[in-house]
Amino acid sequence: MNTLATSILLYLFSLVILIFISRPYLNPLPRFLLKLIPYGLTGLAIYLEYSSGLIDDFPTLLAYTTLVLGYITGIYSTYYFKLEEYHGRFDTVIDLFVILVAATYGSPNLISLAVMWSAAEIIGWYLIVEGEAHSIEGSLRSSRGYLLTSTLTFEISVFTVILVSILSVMATMASVDIGFLIKPFKTIPSYSEASIYFIPLLIVGFIAKTANIPLHFWLPGAHSAAPSPASAILSGLMTPLGFYGLYRVLKLVDLSSYSMELAMVLAILGFMSIIYGWIQVSAQRDGKKILAYATIATNGYISMVFALYILNPSNGMENLLGLSILMHAAYKVTLFSEIGLVEASYRTRYIHGIRGLSKTLPLSSIGGLLAVLTLMGAPGTIGFTVKALSVYYIISHALDPARLLILAGFITYIAISAYLAVKYMTIYFSTPHPPFPEKPREIPRAAQIPVLVLGLSNVYLPIVSIPLLKESADVILLFSMISPLMLLATVLMYLTVTRERGVKH
């Protein structure tokens, strides 16, 4: 049996086991352990594809990041859905969602990419619908916006990729062999005669998935309406599929003659998204909306990194693109998970009056603070590594108009994100104003631990990813060695657990 068939069987086995562990007679502890089986089988399938050369470092990095952060989010969702009194086994749906997203990144061919991605879109839409039905604060139009914009535009682009690939096969073989749909990406010849009219169709769906302006409007409502574990996956792990789609387009279609134009388009859209996203963040009170608009801003930043990658398609730049996505995944999954506990404790998503959160949620606050420090770009976090490397790569080349725009975008993102991160950090300390009339609901420590672990990924994720980031290994190790990680962890523990100031009730 070949590697591709084996990996497909492993994916199917993982889905069957997910159905089994959804049985209600299994209590949380065995389910916590049993979740390792489908995740492990999916990880094994991805490893077989990687070791046999079916997929390269970049999708493997994104697939394993999705599995690791998704597994922790799946554990968190077991407690979250009980706290929020959802009916049924929604945590199993979360696990299914994670595995489908990971399998999309790990897809070795066009047909599996289209099938897995489409299935993940359907599960994401279902979770948004359930969140709308359960929440009294979410928009009732969010699921329609997600379905019509995010999902539909993706289908347009992925089928345009298939069409262009068909043309490529016809050009090289003088016939249509539909079997190319199951052949590995690396065996499909790069199409070098793509019409300029194809290019908008090739990229529009993937740009919509990243929620760059002007195709951003579906994201804030959809990500804030979904249950928090789903929001974490949708925002932190699924929107990067848009960048992966663009990456696949560049590998399948030779667009080198349009590289400057494409880079300028992505840089302009990214810069606009950064400005718009951070303006909206500063105007919001809803914690989920704050994080949703932060997704638009950070994806704008990643778009500018992608533009730089188009201008300089080196292994080092590919690593920086991967690290940028890891940064977004680490801090966004952590904060969306934490805001779910805040909502469960305070019975509201409006966080403008919340202070002293470190007293209410002492363990999860450590994870939340690490995520905020990543957004701030503090040394010792992945945010510092990414932002330092971004500036280094841009100034190490001659500054043409495109690179000047990208540099301006980097500086804008770094400065505003640091300012807003400091502002967001106030929810953890001080006395609330106005004070909440009722005492916050006590959240079990077991529900807070997954958020703490997710927060630690903001420090350690680059280090464990070194085998797939070979070109950046020395820099990652250097930043890790010079950063006062132990001091940072000690200060965070002191501030969040032993600080005397807190909520007064």
- Of the pLDDT bands very low, low, confident and very high (cuts 50, 70, 90), residue 118 is confident
Is 78 among the domain residues? no
- Of the pLDDT bands very low, low, confident and very high (cuts 50, 70, 90), residue 109 is confident
**Looking at residue 86, what DSSP letter applies?**
-
Is 42 among the domain residues? no
Task: Report how far Cα 461 is from the mean position of its chain's Cα atoms.
Answer: 13
If DSSP codes are grouped into helix, strand and coil, which group holds residue 286?
A: strand
Is cis: bond before 434, omega within 30 of 0? yes
State yes or no: pLDDT of 329 exceeds 50: yes
30-44, 193-207, 249-263, 358-372: which has the minimum mean pLDDT? Answer: 193-207
State yes or no: pLDDT of 24 exceeds 80: no
48-52, 129-133, 179-183: which has the minimum mean pLDDT? Answer: 179-183
What are the φ/ψ torsions at residue 52 (nearest 5 degrees)?
Answer: -90, 0
pLDDT tens digits, residue range 399-427? 788 889 999 999 999 999 999 999 998 88
**Nearest-angstrom CA–CA distance, 199 and 152:** 17
State yes or no: pLDDT of 56 exceeds 50: yes
Chain position carrying tokens 């002191």: 494
Q: Is 487 exposed, middle or buried (0-12, 13-18, 19+ CB in 10 A)?
A: exposed
State yes or no: pLDDT of 331 exceeds 70: yes
Angle formed by the axes of helices 3-21 and 90-105, nearest 10°: 170
pLDDT tens digits, residue range 276-319? 999 999 988 888 999 999 999 999 999 999 999 999 888 989 99
**Looking at residue 176, what DSSP letter applies?**
-
**Nearest-angstrom CA–CA distance, 147 and 422:** 35
Task: Report how far Cα 336 is from the mean position of its chain's Cα atoms.
Answer: 11
pLDDT tens digits, residue range 335-352? 999 999 999 998 888 888
Number of domains in the chain: 1
How much of the chain, in percent, has pLDDT values that exceed 70? Answer: 81
pLDDT tens digits, residue range 133-159? 776 555 555 555 565 565 666 566 666
pLDDT tens digits, residue range 156-212? 666 666 666 665 555 554 445 556 667 788 777 676 666 666 777 778 888 888 888
Is 340 among the domain residues? yes
Which pLDDT does position 500 carry in this prediction? 45
Is 312 among the domain residues? yes
State yes or no: pLDDT of 77 exceeds 70: yes
State yes or no: pLDDT of 380 exceeds 90: no
Residues 52-62 have a mean pLDDT of: 93
Arithmetic mean of pLDDT over the chain: 83
Is 396 among the domain residues? yes
**Token digits of residue 444:** 């079990």
Is 11 among the domain residues? no
Taking CA 227 as the corner, what is the angle to CA 226 and CA 230, rounded to the nearest 5 degrees?
A: 80
State yes or no: pLDDT of 96 exceeds 90: yes
Instruction: Give the residue, 167 or 237, on which the prediction is more confident.
Output: 237
What is the domain extent for residue 302?
259-505
* Residue 501, CA distances (Å) to 366, 367, 432, 442, 497 in order: 16, 19, 11, 18, 10
Regarding pTM above 0.85, the answer is: yes
Are 372 and 235 in contact, with CB atoms under 8 Å apart? no
Number of Cβ within 10 Å of residue 36's Cβ equals: 11
**Token digits of residue 332:** 């966004």
Which pLDDT does position 501 carry in this prediction? 45
Is 461 among the domain residues? yes
What are the φ/ψ torsions at residue 466 (nearest 5 degrees)?
Answer: -55, -40
Top-ranked range on mean pLDDT: pick from 194-198, 222-226, 479-483: 222-226
